[in-house]
Structure formats: C-alpha cells, structure tokens
Amino acid sequence: MNSILHINTGLPSILLLRRIDACDSREIRGLCFFDGKGAFTLIEAMAQLGAFHLRKRADFRRHAFLVKVWNWKVG
C-alpha cells in the first residue's frame, strides 16, 4: 500500500481506528486514538486492523471477524 488510508465512518463516538499507515502481505500498521473508555477499545481497534489485514490478503473476497479473546498467563 503506497498511501495512507484515512478512515471516516461519520460516527465520531465509535471510531477507533483512524488510519492505516502501511499494509503488505506480512504486516499492517495503523493509528488509533485511545479515548480512555477502557481496554476493550484497544482490543476493538486491534480487531479492526487485523480484520482489514486479513480481508486485504484475501483481495476483499472474504469477511473477517474477531471471534474470541482469551487471557493466558506467561511463565
């Protein structure tokens, strides 16, 4: 992706992912603004970014959804 993709849903109270700065077959980078409402907003922004990456890799022929988030302990 050569240019930055700006996202505007017209819903300022719900918008989490603001733009996608880079996206190729191996990685995606984007920007979100954390509004302090809780950790779930960061998880939602990551889900939006991940879904876009999966959909782009499938040439937008398939949909992608975050189905489950689980907690695990390290160590």
CA distance 9 to 18: 10
Q: What φ, ψ does residue 71 adopt, rounded to 5°?
A: -105, 135
End-to-end CA distance of the chain, in Å? 38
Say what the pLDDT of residue 25 is: 83
Element holding 43 (H helix, E strand): helix 39-57
Per-residue pLDDT reduced to its tens digit, 11-53: 666 667 788 898 888 888 888 877 676 777 777 888 888 888 8
